[in-house]
Structure 1
Amino acid sequence: MSVEHHDLAHEFPELKDRIHDLKMNDAHFRKLFEAYHELTREIENMENEVSPASTQAEEEAKMRRVHLKDELYRMLTASH
Structure 2
Amino acid sequence: MIENHSLANELPEFKEAIHTLKMSNHHFAKIFEQYHNTDKEIHRIEQGIENTTDEYLEYLKKQRLHSKDALFAMLKKHEATTA
Which bin holds the TM-score, normalised by the shorter protein? over 0.9
Which 4+ runs in 1 deviate beyond 6 A? none
How far apart in 2 are the matches of 1:24 and 1:14? 18
Paired residue secondary structure (1:33):
helix
Shift of 1:62: 0.2
TM-score, structure 1 normalization: 0.95
User: Which residues of structure 2 form unaligned runs of 5+?
Assistant: none
Question: What runs of 5+ residues in structure 1 fail to find an aligned partner?
Answer: none
TM-score (norm 2): 0.92
Does 2:54 align with 1:52? no
| Identity level (%) | 41
Q: Give the root-mean-square deviation of aligned CA atoms.
A: 0.6
Mapped partners of 1:76, 1:51: distance in 2: 32
